[in-house]
Structure 1
Amino acid sequence: MLIDTQHTKTGQNSQPAPTHVKLTPEYRAKPWGRRDGLWAPDSAQPLGEVIFKSDTSGLVLKWLQTSEPLSVQIHPQRGPGRKHEWWYIADAKPGAYLQLGLKESATPEDIRRAAQDGSLPGMLRRIEPAVGDTFFIEAGTIHALGPGLTVVEVQEPSDVTWRLFDYGRPRELHLDQALQEAILDPQPLTPMPNGTAPFQITHEMLAPDQRSMLVAPRASVMVAEGRGSFGTESYAPHQCWDFTDAMPVHTTEPTVLILAEPVESTTDDETLWRARK
Structure 2
Amino acid sequence: MAIERAHVQAFPRPWGVVDLTPWSNAGRDGVPIGEIWYERAARPAPSPSLLLKLLFTSEPLSIQVHPDDAYAQSMGLPNGKTEAWYVLSAAPGAKVALGLKQQLTQQQLRAAVDDGSIADLIVWRTVLPDDVISVPAGTIHAIGAGVVIAEIQQRSEATFRLFDYGRQRELHIERAIAVAIAGPARFRSRPNRFTDERSLLVSGPHFVLERINLAPNSTWSLEAKRETWLLVLSGNAVAGSFEVGIADAVFAQSDRVDIRVGSTGMTGLVAYTGIGPVPHLLRRHTQPGTKDVARPPIIQVPPSPTRAKPASTNALETTK
TM range (shorter): 0.7 to 0.9
2:65 aligned to 61, 74, 89, which one? Answer: 74
Alignment of 1:258-269 (within 5 A): 258-263=269-274
1:34 equivalent in alignment to 2:17: yes
SS of structure 1 residue aligned to 2:220: strand
Conserved 8 A contact 2:217-2:261: yes
Q: 2: CA distance between counterparts of 1:186 and 1:233?
A: 44
Q: Which runs of 5+ in 2 are unaligned?
A: 41-45, 190-200, 277-301, 311-320
Q: 1: CA distance between counterparts of 2:134 and 2:207?
A: 11
Q: Deviations over 1:135-168 (max 9, x none)?
A: 1100010001100100000111111100001111
In structure 1, the partner of 2:95 is 97
In structure 2, the partner of 1:63 is 54
Q: Deviations over 1:147-201 (max 9, x none)?
A: 0100000111111100001111100111100000100121223536654x21111
Q: Which runs of 5+ in 1 are unaligned?
A: 1-17
1:51 equivalent in alignment to 2:45: no
Q: CA deviation at 1:254?
A: 4.0
Q: CA deviation at 1:247?
A: 1.9
Q: 1: CA distance between counterparts of 2:9 and 2:248?
A: 12
Q: Deviations over 1:188-226 (max 9, x none)?
A: 23536654x211112112333333221222311122232
SS of structure 2 residue aligned to 1:90: strand
Alignment of 1:192-207 (within 5 A): 194-195=203-204, 197-207=205-215
1:173 equivalent in alignment to 2:171: yes
Q: 1: CA distance between counterparts of 2:128 and 2:213?
A: 16
Report the count of equivalent residues.
256
In structure 2, the partner of 1:109 is 107
Q: 2: CA distance between counterparts of 1:200 and 1:74?
A: 21
1:220 equivalent in alignment to 2:211: no
Q: 2: CA distance between counterparts of 1:204 and 1:186?
A: 31
SS of structure 2 residue aligned to 1:21: strand
Specify which structure has the higher proportion of strand.
2
TM-score by length of structure 2 reads 0.73
Q: 1: CA distance between counterparts of 2:246 and 2:273?
A: 23
Q: Deviations over 1:101-160 (max 9, x none)?
A: 112111222222222222212211111111111111000100011001000001111111
Aligned-pair Cα RMSD in Å: 2.5
1:211 equivalent in alignment to 2:202: no
Larger relative contact order (C-alpha < 8 A, sep ≥ 6)? 1
SS of structure 1 residue aligned to 2:25: coil
Aligned-partner residue type, residue 207 of structure 1: A
Aligned CA distance change for structure 1 residues 72 and 274 (closer, same or farther; 3 Å)? closer
SS of structure 2 residue aligned to 1:245: strand
Q: Percent identity?
A: 31
Q: 1: CA distance between counterparts of 2:143 and 2:85?
A: 10
Q: 2: CA distance between counterparts of 1:237 and 1:194?
A: 24
